[in-house]
Chains A and B, each alone.
Chain A
Amino acid sequence: MTQQATETHCPYCSLQCGMKVLRRGRTGIETAAWEEFGVNEGALCRKGWTAGELRGSRERLTTPMVRDRATGELRAAEWDEALDLIAARLRALQADHGDDAVAVFGGGGLTNEKAYQLGKFARVALRTSQIDYNGRWCMSSAASAGNQAFGIDRGLPFPLADVERTDVLVLVGSNLAETMPPAARHLDRLRERGGKVVVIDPRRTATAERADQFLQPVPGTDLALALGVLHLLDARGAVDEAYITARTTGFDAVRRDAAAWWPERVERASGVGGEELRALADLLGDTAGQGGRVMVLTARGAEQHAQGTATVLGWINVALALGMPGRESAGYGCLTGQGNGQGGREHGQKADQLPGYRMIDDPAARAHVAGVWGVDADSLPGKGPSAYELLDALGTSDADGDGPKAMLVFGSNIVVSAPRATHVTARLEALDLLVVADIVMSETAALADVVLPITQWAEESGTTTNLEGRVILRRQAVAPPSGVCSDLDVIAGLAARLGSPIPFSTDPEEIFAELGRASAGGKADYSGISYQRIAAEQGVFWPCPAVPDGETPHPGTPRMFADSFATPDGRARFLVPEFAGAAEQPDADYPVHLTTGRVLGQYQSGAQTRRIRSLPDEGAFVEMHPMLADRIGAHDGEPVVVRTRRGEMKAPARVVATIRPDTIFVPFHWVGVNRLTNDALDPASRMPEFKVCAAEILV
């Protein structure tokens, strides 16, 4: 029996695959292929195929819970009771300790409408500067590098399908065949066309299996490789001098810096043989020399470092030196991670930003946004601390003042996803009030004083912005279970109770229209986008400014930089990245590199995917090379202990020849490895160094 199918998008990664949601039985839902949607053409990975299984699961939260002071246990509560209690506690804490006593923590999985409302709620209803989100731990290094080099941050400045038409694709620290499998189809089509794929990763991943060239550096040394490639390109005269002169500034300093990165120096720093580096430079130089196109894409492997911004800048320099950014099917891009990793960073849940990718310390931006909101610009707080710094200060009290005493968490499972998680968990426990809104009892919700049950993707409408900067619409397919509200309801309910000077809508489409007005004139301008246009055009690429009535609507911007970059002078910037390597180097006590990442069957902190029975949940494992396993006496499948200066964990060994012998890998979807990771931060993006630290491993 055919039922009405709702065209929507997957709840997980930034590929935001188009899918159909069908109703099954009285309450169930099932996902099906939406062949017509161009980004994934009906393909889905097992996470997408099984996304409907949380619906009706006993694991879903369907009633607010409040921690009973007498027993310390969570007990069921009515919505009004829960929201009244939260509002009263927040008011009291702010009265005693100031507005910044309350913090807000958002997520890169929230829809644009939620991210926008959350930022507005923090600045207007709570008047707090203390808001940031888990996207800081996702692609913030690429964002900061993109802003510095191109004057704008859109993950891919071109449609993903352009990948198929480039000639050489260089993937730096991306395992897209496992993290966003349908995207790997583009690699296969590229290779069928005769194009080449280069993968740079400490592990020979499923993506690397599709590569024509594979380079396996020491974690944290991708920048040294970029400097070495640039060195060799300049040595052979393969840089595009005409492009550099016409479209960029700053090359000379970068070129001189690269002169000191000859292949054997790079080899010593990165562990990648000089000949492999030469082969890569030859491939890039030959391709560009014959008029071919080169595309460099980075992902978390290159970005989640204390040198993440510098690493991305190093690879942007390679793309610029070859004259690629702005050419069709060429240039630089970042493969964003979270479902709304792109949109989530544009509309004001970031510590330093207002909607439309405006900066909160820019008086004109404050005036514009305050005007849309109907508040006084002076009432808006200033810039707050970044995600990790915010968490690090929770419940603290020292000479510099007090850290926040209460925090509201939306769409984030901090206990699993924060670095140095034991410390962060202790900070959460030091709060006077922790409120978590989630669909399930995540590890973070389990610590909360109040837990609010919220709708999941198929039960609500809202837009996301995929990795291409394409604004798309997730449509509600089913009614939420009774007792469950949207984040938007929570925000509006709390705003009203807190005496917000302005009302907060709960209607996504209405909020989207307001978001459009707030973003108008900003870098990420959504003002010309509507739900109708998204539906009619398979999404709309920002920037898409509104035009006066009667004029032809702006078509959106699938491809950026063709004529100019978003810098004041229209030129891209070459910036000198200084290579320093990982913040924590192996030593006698902690002799191996520990890197972290993902597996195909799980998503992020696993709060959703670990609760879906059709997905394999074998728990964390410690991947290591047979040489290392022999050294420590480990056997495949048997438990090993991994220890760093910050914590330890135990998990079974997985002995594979595909990883560097001086490196171990642990996926981060389970409580464990982030207790071990390093909280060293990138100076520009404030990204923690998830991807490398020094570890000890023993049986």
Chain B
Amino acid sequence: MTESPHAAPRRRLVVVGSGMAASRLVEELVARGAHATHATHAITVLGDEPVAPYNRILLSAVLEGTHRPEALTLRTPEWYDAHGITLHLGARVLGVDPGRRDVMLVDGTLIDYDVLVLATGAIPALPPIRGLVRMDGSLHPAVHAFRSLAECEHLLAAIADTDAAGHPVNRRAVVVGGGLLGLQVARALGTRGLDTEIVEGAEHLLHRQVDTAAGRILARDLKKLDVAVYTGARAVRIEDAGDRVALRLDNGFTLDTDLVVLTAGGRPSTALARGAGLEVRRGIVVDDRLTTSDPHIHAIGDCVQHEGRVTGFVPPAWEQAGVLADVLTGEPTTYDGSRVVARLRATDLDVAVLGDASAEIEAGGELVEVANPIAGSHRRLVVREGRIVAATLVGDLSRVGLITQHFDRGTVLGPTEPGSLLMPERTTTAGSATRALPDDAEVCACAGVSAARIRSCSSFEEVRDTTRATTGCGGCTSAVRELLAARALSPYVSTAKGN
């Protein structure tokens, strides 16, 4: 990092966290030139994971095998270096002292700040299962959390583990938590060849996003993909059972398994903020300028609570990063919430959730829905004042791109349009309808030749020479031959040339 002797004193900006929100904030600041030697900020990023910032939301894709782990890296340490940004990896922050304006790392290092950004993300929720955590505070060896690359790689290693005969040691897995992440992980484990089961405490899968009927369709989809589903059941106890472990459920079932993967959601990581005396409810409370109760401390991403809401998705975190970059560079921008689009990323499971359907229905939204449980699709749009304000699409994602556009842009639709959006797209089939073409139908666009003119010719050569059909792109050649053949068969047309 280079420091110009002539530069005015720069504000020391310290970012705690190096996840999706933090790395996006740094990129946004770089895009605004706030990092440059003569510019406004000296930036330090403190990441507690030992690896360069990566795309966390693709961990389940790594688990499934569609993404190489190396392809997740968002920015390399060299990139930070080249932009004059100090990146400390494996740097866990012990505490923040808002009075002194410094942060202390676990190794005792003190780092002063003028402006602090907390982007500490979320930590996986540990369900109340007896035997989950051992006396020393570590997880039971068969239990895997799934939030970091290290945890993902740990799980992959467990899957790859083989015995002396070369057989996999771990063949069965139970995924605890049937939300978006749980479904992705379960599908990934299934694709990897493990006998996989999901345990979800609520009455149906994805209960925060979809209704019962859609949840049932998902459960059936998963069953078809050889993933068993237990809903309305909580795991209460884990015990060693020979080579395996036994996961006891509160409905009396006991699932024998090799691996237990926790995907029971996360909660905002607020310990540092609490320790610093900031206002914290479910998350770190921020205002429309993403400022905490301390004017020198901002917060973004999964760790924050804005207008009473905690999100847990990347797009809002990135929008907050963009707004905060503006705030830090003196722009009057404010954050007024985000439209959330949640998509399940797992092969053969089609789910898109736009906005908050139940809240919008309560707010007076009308429901337009098409469900076909037999075909396994359930799609509903919530429409208010002509706009799609929420949608859940399960099992059929046709037009998901268009519906998302209408949702994001607040397009005012016509009264029949929401219904049309859920109907199958009209397809035009040409096929051998050629023979039945009306006389005035254009057969050759390049030369502008109608079916009638082609029918008036007796040979392909005559068509070519007199009408110039087929002499452009050549695309009508087969249609012309077909029309001529039909003409030859027709009893009403003499095949002999009259004159």
Contacts and interface: CB of A to CB of B under 8 A. Distances in A.
A235 B67 contact: yes
A272 interface: yes
A218 interface: yes
Contacts of B358: none
A513 interface: no
A260 B73 CA distance: 9
Task: Give the most central of B341, B345, B468: most A CB within 10 Å.
Answer: B468
A44 B448 CA distance: 12
A18 to B, nearest CB: 13
A274 B118 CA distance: 32
Interface stretch (B84-92, B96-104, B472-480): B472-480
Contacts, number: 147
B203 interface: no
Interface in B400-423: 400-402, 404-406, 408-414, 416-417, 420-421
Given A235-B68, A588-B410, A600-B445, A273 B400 contact: yes
Given A259-B55, A271-B404, A46 B447 contact: yes
A586 B401 contact: no
A262 interface: yes
B401 A267 contact: yes
A576 to B, nearest CB: 11
A662 interface: yes
Contacts of B411: 586, 591, 662
Contacts of A33: 471
B402 to A, nearest CB: 6
A262 B397 CA distance: 17
B343 interface: yes
Contacts of A264: 341, 343, 345
A252 interface: yes
Nearest to A587: B409
Contacts of A632: 414
Interface stretch (A79-87, A177-185, A439-447): A177-185
Given A235-B61, A601-B448, A662-B406, A627 B472 contact: no
A51 to B, nearest CB: 13
B67 A45 contact: no
B74 interface: yes
B417 A184 contact: no
Contact of B420 (A45, A46, A255, A627): A627
Which size bracket describes the interface of A in this complex? 35 or more
Contacts of A222: none
A509 interface: no
Contacts of A662: 402, 405-406, 409, 411
B474 A185 contact: yes
Interface of B: 31, 54-55, 57-58, 61, 66-68, 71-76, 78-79, 315, 341, 343, 345, 397-398, 400-402, 404-406, 408-414, 416-417, 420-421, 425-426, 428, 445-448, 468, 471-475
Nearest to A253: B79
B7 to A, nearest CB: 26
Interface in A208-243: 210, 218, 231, 234-237
A268 B408 contact: yes
Given A236-B67, A273-B401, A586-B409, A181 B79 contact: no
Nearest to A204: B428
Closest 10 CB pairs of A and B: A631-B414, A184-B473, A271-B401, A181-B473, A181-B472, A264-B343, A235-B67, A45-B472, A181-B446, A45-B446
Contacts of A660: 402
Given A45-B447, A46-B448, A256 B74 contact: yes
A256 B73 contact: yes
A275 B397 contact: yes
Nearest to B405: A271
A284 to B, nearest CB: 15
Contacts of A235: 58, 61, 66-68, 71
Contact of B416 (A43, A588, A600, A630): A630
A182 B414 contact: no
Given A627-B420, A657-B426, A46 B468 contact: yes
Contacts of B343: 264, 267, 274
A312 to B, nearest CB: 21
A236 B66 contact: yes
A382 interface: no
B73 A259 contact: yes
A547 interface: no
A188 interface: yes
B479 to A, nearest CB: 12
A260 B55 contact: yes
A188 B445 CA distance: 16
A206 interface: yes
A555 interface: no
10 contacts: A43-B473, A44-B472, A46-B448, A46-B472, A255-B71, A264-B341, A268-B404, A601-B448, A626-B426, A627-B414
A272 B448 CA distance: 33
Nearest to A263: B345
Contacts of A585: 409
Given A256-B73, A256-B74, A662-B411, A272 B401 contact: yes
A587 B387 CA distance: 13
B74 A43 contact: no
A630 B420 contact: yes
Contacts of A210: 475
Contacts of B55: 259-260, 262
A44 B471 contact: yes
Given A42-B471, A267-B343, 11 more contacts: A181-B445, A184-B475, A235-B71, A236-B68, A259-B74, A260-B74, A268-B315, A270-B401, A587-B409, A616-B448, A631-B414
B226 to A, nearest CB: 21
Interface in A607-635: 615-616, 626-627, 630-632
A53 to B, nearest CB: 14
B35 to A, nearest CB: 15
Given A259-B55, A661-B402, A662-B411, A43 B474 contact: yes
Nearest to B68: A237
